[in-house]
Amino acid sequence: MYPSIRPMAAVLLLLNLPLAVQAEDSTLVAPVIVTATRTAQTIDETLASVVVIDRATIEQSQALDIADLLRLHAGLDVARNGGPGQTTSVFIRGAESNHTLIMINGVKINSGTIGAAAVQNISPDLIERIEIVKGPRSTLYGSEAIGGVINIITRRAVSGTAFNASLGAGNQGARKIKGGIHHAGTILRGGVEVQRNTSDGFPALRGSTLDRGYENNSVNAYLGAKLSGVDIEASHWQTQGTSEYQDEFTFDALDQDFTNRASALTLKANPNAAWATQVKLSQIADTIDQNQINPFSGANDFAHTKRNVFDWQNDIQISNEQLLTAGITLSRENTEALSYGTAFNESTAVNSLYVQDDLTLGAHQLLVAVRSTDHETAGLHTTWNLGYGYQAAPDTRLIANAGTAFRSPDASDRFGFGGNPNLKPETSRTLELGMRHNIRANHSVAITAFHNHIQDLINYNFSTFPGANENIESAAIRGIETSYHLALAQWRFQLEGVLQSAKNRSTGIQLARRASRSLTASAVYDLGQHQIGLDLLASGPRKDSDFSSDINNGYSLLNLTAQTRLGQHWTVRGKIENLLNKEYTLATGYNTQGRLVLVSVEYNLGQ
């Protein structure tokens, strides 16, 4: 057991003892999700391993970016090279960081140059909820969805007109300001929210005294209407700003400008009672522009991705027990980059066809899904998912899942430093067994065992001269994760843990930046007008990188949050992150967040 967990466990136990004699709270409503199967269903209905971070949790956490939210859930490892705005990676169930598919409102935002998404730039204040699906989902979403999918749903109008504004500040020069207005009527709906976050930060590198700051300006806007049986909506999410950092070898002060955006036009219709159809046209951009000249190339480095996607989805209700989903996805991507004198400008076409059948027969549920992907560079690839659920008792469900997934080589793999245009896609086979049990309506436990075999992993081969990227690695990932949820009276408790072995099959060495064990816990005391919460994260040791033998020690963090409502419209929130001011390492040579105090005031009118 982690030494720092014992006091927290004792506190939770003491808090829980008097609750055993209190009356139960009202039944909790299972959240409705769309990511696991591309159709709306409750968490209780889905066969996938799913986590939902709702709006109330986001507000209570007062997180600065989504990585601060994700790290508080089992099976999600987060690595960060310094403070706010610095490069951040998310690993799901031991898979690589570029095996995590990240979407904004169902639109993939992973960069085409390096495969991952800039999670450090995504502000939680513009988010309604986050849906996390663990396990392979390439069958529904294509490349990158080997470890899982994170779908970020931005805020929308519910009914009537609502206005919100907030102002916050903290140490390290942290400042934020936000304002928004939303409206939902019988026919028209729309809204816009804008936010500006800035921070002086702290020295990114160990041994440095130079603070590295961050500036982030974000917007979420949408306009929709229901016209003659067709629902049409245009939406736009964007974050833009500047991130300061240091060269890890020379300690030179550097900075770069970034833009991440996702725009979509969505049309939905129900031609008849059994058929729902949706067409989504989307475009994303992911750009990084270096503000200093690279001395090796004599130019400013950059990395640009632009992707246009056409997605047509059809849901056919064959009967009350059977739902058939089928669609096509056409993607056209352009990537352009210059890094240390290596340049490329490449376009890639991807055409996919997918079909999924969800069948329920009494206590049995069966889900079968297949996708055929014609990738311009990776060739023709077929993936599948098979899920089975058995309602063993009214409150107990047994689940089995199996599936395959792939990641096509990104542009940097093929044409960047060590680029190899003949690379094959990375592939995986996954098996998962689980059990969910509702002890009471607001009291549940779940346990899941998983095994993921990934082959043809791309890595730089130093054994050849001058070296190149090759499909030379494979990985075996096994683990077991548990979760426990309890809501009684004014209290809410959540406990999640994971034990996993993520190793390189060729060398037997632990995969970098993935802990073999972690534990998260949260306790919230809610009196309606006042709320206080504690979040605990305890993580085991991790190997730092594939290119060194450094081991980053295990660590534990404790965050304290509080809020109080002043009348009907005003809310004051406060947070102390890293309450005990613990020193810890997420990446060798980089500093991490010390104690951070944040205070904000928010005004809400309407919803």
Say whether pLDDT at 18 is over 60.
no
Backbone angles phi, psi at 164, to 5 degrees: -140, 150
Say whether pLDDT at 461 is over 90.
no
List residues bridging with 492 in a β-sheet.
487, 524
At 264, the amino acid letter reads A
Q: Residue 333 — very low, low, confident or very high, per pLDDT cuts 50/70/90?
A: very high
Residue given tokens 């996607």 in the structure block: 309
- Mean of the per-residue pLDDT values of the chain: 92
**pLDDT given at position 16:** 38
**pLDDT given at position 471:** 92
User: Rounded distance, CA 219 to CA 238, Å?
Assistant: 5
**pLDDT given at position 29:** 64
Q: Residue 581 — very low, low, confident or very high, per pLDDT cuts 50/70/90?
A: very high
252-281 pLDDT per residue, tens: 999 999 999 999 999 999 999 999 999 999
| Residue 549, C-beta contacts closer than 8 angstroms, at least 6 positions apart | 543
Say whether pLDDT at 568 is over 70.
yes
| Residue 212, C-beta contacts closer than 8 angstroms, at least 6 positions apart | 82, 83, 86, 201, 202, 203, 204, 244, 245, 246, 253
Q: Residue 514 — very low, low, confident or very high, per pLDDT cuts 50/70/90?
A: very high
Say whether pLDDT at 391 is over 90.
yes
- Quick one: what percent of the chain has pLDDT higher than 90? 85
Say whether pLDDT at 528 is over 90.
no
Say whether pLDDT at 7 is over 80.
no
Note whether 131 and 33 are within 8 A (CB).
Answer: yes
Residue given tokens 């904004």 in the structure block: 104
Q: Classify residue 461 as exposed, middle or buried by CB count within 10 Å of its CB (0-12, 13-18, 19+).
A: middle
**pLDDT given at position 158:** 85
Say whether pLDDT at 24 is over 70.
no
Q: What is the mean pLDDT of residues 295-318?
A: 95
- Of the candidates 369, 354, 365, 353, the one whose C-alpha atom is nearest the C-alpha of residue 322 is 365
**DSSP structure string for 302-360:** EEEEEEEEEEEEEEEEEETTEEEEEEEEEEEEEEEEEETTEEEEEEEEEEEEEEEEEEE
User: Residue 562 is inside which H or E element, if any?
Assistant: strand 555-566
124-142 pLDDT per residue, tens: 999 999 999 999 999 999 9
Higher pLDDT, 9 or 80: 80
Q: Residue 329 — very low, low, confident or very high, per pLDDT cuts 50/70/90?
A: very high
Decide: helix, strand or coil at residue 68. helix
Note whether 401 and 429 are within 8 A (CB).
Answer: no
Q: Residue ranges per domain, the chain?
A: 5-191+204-248+286-605
Q: What is the mean pLDDT of residues 210-217?
A: 96
The pTM of the full predicted model, rounded to 2 decimals, is 0.94
**pLDDT given at position 30:** 73
Q: What is the mean pLDDT of residues 315-338?
A: 97
| Residue 261, C-beta contacts closer than 8 angstroms, at least 6 positions apart | 236, 237, 238, 239, 240, 284, 285
The encoded tokens of residue 37 equal 């199967």
- Of the candidates 131, 74, 135, the one whose C-alpha atom is nearest the C-alpha of residue 386 is 135
Decide: helix, strand or coil at residue 406. strand
Higher pLDDT, 44 or 456: 456
Residue given tokens 């200093």 in the structure block: 292
Say whether pLDDT at 599 is over 80.
yes
Class of domain 5-191+204-248+286-605: mainly beta
Number of CB atoms found within 10 A of residue 564's CB: 14
Say whether pLDDT at 193 is over 50.
yes
| Cis ω for the linkage preceding 394 (within 30 of 0) | no
